[in-house]
Structure 1
Amino acid sequence: MRIEQLTFTRFIAASLIVIFHYGIDIFPFNLQKTMFLGANIGVSYFFVLSGFVMIIAYHKKQKISVLNYLRNRFARIYPVYLLATLILVGYYLVATNVDVKPIDLILNITLLQSWVPAKVLTLNFPGWSLSVEFFFYVTFPLLFNYLYKKFNYKKLALPILFFFVISQLVFFYFFYSEHYQGQHTISHNLLFYFPVIHLNEFLIGNLIGLYFVQREYKTRNNSFFILGLIILCALILAYGNAIDYHNGLLAIIFAPMILLISYDHGWISKLSKSKLFIHLGEISYGVYILQIPIFSITRRLLMYLGITDKTIIFYGCFLVLIVTSSITYKYIETPLRKKIKSIKLAQ
């Protein structure tokens, strides 16, 4: 089962993260810098959506075959991830003085960087979320085979919500305690990027996925409510910046938003199902994971050509990123995914 109208939301989340990294000072985002300083919550949306989509994809199975399942998950994320890492490493070695340490490369290639706080943001730093995502992938068969196939969403709601609340309390306790030493420290990396810290977001996504597949509900025009949640989220980021939302607190908005979009047949759903928006959603993974190497290389080339205007550089880089993501989706991501999935593994 594929819910088409959700596909474009991936592109929105990926674009928000690109803006967070490169576009906060660029028009029109500089008109509301405070809001876009919180645009990295797009990663949190990815985690919740991932939990939802995993249930949608596997709910009809009686049991997940672990080896084949991990092969498919590997095929989904790794080829373009590896490509982005190697492009960036090549750029660093050829065109910069950045020292590429072997341990950093090993941790990044093996998707283990998020487990080592001192190394979590080395090389292609958005890759930390893929390291976390792969932890979710490894965890999911256990959850699915031993919990989700035995209990319905009503029985699972309380323990998942309890885990979510405890996770938020632990995060904010340490964030406001003397143990937290600020950005660019081990305490920051451990609190913000360690995989277990983000498990609550994935579980919330699982819960709403179980709700969606186990409860009959007719589609309706939810566009007004979806728009209201989007505005609420924007207002929270713009005026509620006293709180850090990095550990998935906004899942309380993302979860109902995902459900409303999934059930929607209004103008938002119809617009999101257009060929252009579906395509942008499909290339969103490339937009996210290729942003650092593409922006680094393109910005250097533009400046070499004498282009120094920050706005032109940002939009030029973003355009190159979209084109590159489209090419890699068609000629690398999709073919390699099919090739890897065709590999026969023991049951």
Structure 2
Amino acid sequence: MQPTTTKKTPRLESLTFLRFIAAAVVVIYHFGRDTQLFKSLPVALTSGPIMVTFFFVLSGFVISVSHYNRAVCTSDFYRNRFFRIAPIYFIALIWACAYQSTGLTTTSLALSATFLQSWIPPYPLSLNSPGWSISVEAFFYAISPALLLLINKEKKRSWISWVASALLIWMLTQSILSALLAPEFYKGFKTFSHDLINYFPASHLCSFLIGFSGGVAYSQNNLENKKIQAYSAVFFLITLAMIGIAIQNQQSIERILGSRIAFGSSFFALLFLPAIYFCAVGDVFLRKILATPFLVLLGEASYSLYILQKPAYIAFTKATSSMPQQNSDIKFLAYFVTLTTISIICYLMIEKPLTNLLKRNKKISPATEENKEHQTIQQR
């Protein structure tokens, strides 16, 4: 089947740098907790688990925008997605396995190699722990062609119905997760209950669907809304402030709602979507700032930054173990700069050349490929 395009896919480079910020927050959360930097930053910039929700919302948004009003060849879509995430994923997995003294079993390796670790407790964090979110993302990719077929068959269906459906699924998911957090079931970190609530793909599906529905809204009726564009920077900043306030006051939210909340499992998806939306709509000024070449490069390298963080940290720690004791902030900064440099190199020498090679050889139909910037702003 040869897909056809009825309108040009909009460029979304202004979103790319946001991925770098989110990935950096995850890295700070994992490896910068003993630094003064961590203690001085706002809670929103140290809440790694919550930022993974941002990746999932962004992924849904970009996939629906990129393929809206287009026929989709399922096999091409799957090949496209596989070659986008797999090379660096397997490099990170092999690198992480090289340092494993425990936990490296046939089962853990097989699950990680097939992107299934997040489905089977207690394996989501086995081997290269950040890979659990790529396992979840692989599930989203698996169901995306069906969703894309649905939106392209029902072009007259209002974006409001898509958003409302996603909202209902989000509400149902959050109700179930809150119930599972009851002391009778939830037993804390490294237990079946923790894995089910925090890493199980179905627990995060609502984030992807919210982003997907937001992409439908973006594609249907607001690309040419000059009024929204004119105030997009203001709306974007207001949304960021709301996200920061909400993350800062998680305990207050729980008191108001009268129950425990699984904040790391899609709760903040409803706030991340408008931030993504207004950034995508973006006026000229906002786009110029966020789409500068260096910021875009950082965003494009953010997938490598995210998935390589654990093996890179272990390697960095081993390499610097014989050096004189350093201030924790200096050590973390040196690690982060090293990780960022490695990530940029991986993007320029592996991800980008592979993408260009696939295009030249036409192994993936050009009509079904996402624009270059769309391929680089998705999470794993």
Q: What is the TM-score when the length of structure 2 is the normalising length?
A: 0.85
Match of 2:297 in 1: 279
Match of 2:14 in 1: 5
Shift, 1:21, TM fit: 0.4
Deviates more, 1:70-79 or 1:141-150: 141-150
CA-to-aligned-CA distance 1:96-147 (integer Å, 9 cap, x gap): x335212211111111101111111101111000000010000011111134
Shift, 1:312, TM fit: 1.7
2:270 to 238, 243, 252: 252
Asked if the contact 2:26/2:51 (under 8 Å) is kept, the reply is yes
Shift, 1:40, TM fit: 2.1
1:81 to 84, 89, 114: 89
Unaligned runs of 5+ in 1: none
CA-to-aligned-CA distance 1:19-75 (integer Å, 9 cap, x gap): 11011332322125755553321100000000000011111313x211111000001
Partners of 2:44 and 2:276 in 1: CA distance: 21
Match of 2:245 in 1: 235
Shift, 1:275, TM fit: 1.3
Q: Give 2:61's aligned amino acid.
A: F
**Aligned pairs (5 A) from 1:203-218:** 203-216=209-222, 217-218=225-226
Unaligned runs of 5+ in 2: 1-8, 255-260, 369-380
1:145 equivalenced with 2:155 (yes/no): no
Shift, 1:340, TM fit: 4.7
Shift, 1:339, TM fit: 3.7
What is the RMSD computed on CA atoms of the aligned residues? 2.1
Q: Give 2:345's aligned amino acid.
A: I
CA-to-aligned-CA distance 1:296-318 (integer Å, 9 cap, x gap): 11122112223443112211110
Segments ≥4 residues shifted beyond 6 Å: none
Partners of 1:152 and 1:74 in 2: CA distance: 31
Partners of 1:278 and 1:52 in 2: CA distance: 18
1:195 equivalenced with 2:201 (yes/no): yes
**Aligned pairs (5 A) from 1:3-42:** 3-32=12-41, 34-36=43-45, 38-42=47-51
1:131 equivalenced with 2:135 (yes/no): yes
For the residue of structure 2 that corresponds to 1:257, the secondary structure is helix
2:232 to 185, 208, 222: 222
For the residue of structure 2 that corresponds to 1:304, the secondary structure is coil
Match of 2:58 in 1: 49
Shift, 1:149, TM fit: 3.0
CA-to-aligned-CA distance 1:152-204 (integer Å, 9 cap, x gap): 32332332221111111111111125111111101110111111111100000
Deviates more, 1:295-304 or 1:110-119: 295-304
Shift, 1:333, TM fit: 1.3
Match of 1:336 in 2: 354
Deviates more, 1:18-27 or 1:147-156: 147-156
Asked if the contact 1:71/1:340 (under 8 Å) is kept, the reply is no
1:261 equivalenced with 2:279 (yes/no): yes
Partners of 1:13 and 1:29 in 2: CA distance: 15
Q: Give 1:253's aligned amino acid.
A: L
Partners of 1:21 and 1:248 in 2: CA distance: 19
1:174 to 172, 176, 180: 180
CA-to-aligned-CA distance 1:65-87 (integer Å, 9 cap, x gap): 11111000001111101111111
Partners of 2:44 and 2:213 in 1: CA distance: 28
Asked if the contact 1:208/1:259 (under 8 Å) is kept, the reply is yes
Q: Give 2:29's aligned amino acid.
A: F
Deviates more, 1:31-40 or 1:202-211: 31-40
Q: Give 2:62's aligned amino acid.
A: V
For the residue of structure 1 that corresponds to 2:185, the secondary structure is coil
1:114 equivalenced with 2:118 (yes/no): yes
For the residue of structure 1 that corresponds to 2:19, the secondary structure is helix
Match of 1:61 in 2: 70
Structure 1 3/37 Cα, relative in aligned 2: closer, same or farther at 3 Å?
Answer: closer
Partners of 1:168 and 1:24 in 2: CA distance: 28
Identity %: 33
Shift, 1:252, TM fit: 1.4
Asked if the contact 2:43/2:244 (under 8 Å) is kept, the reply is no
Structure 1 345/256 Cα, relative in aligned 2: closer, same or farther at 3 Å?
Answer: closer
1:183 equivalenced with 2:185 (yes/no): no
CA-to-aligned-CA distance 1:207-257 (integer Å, 9 cap, x gap): 110000000322224223322222222222223245441121111111111
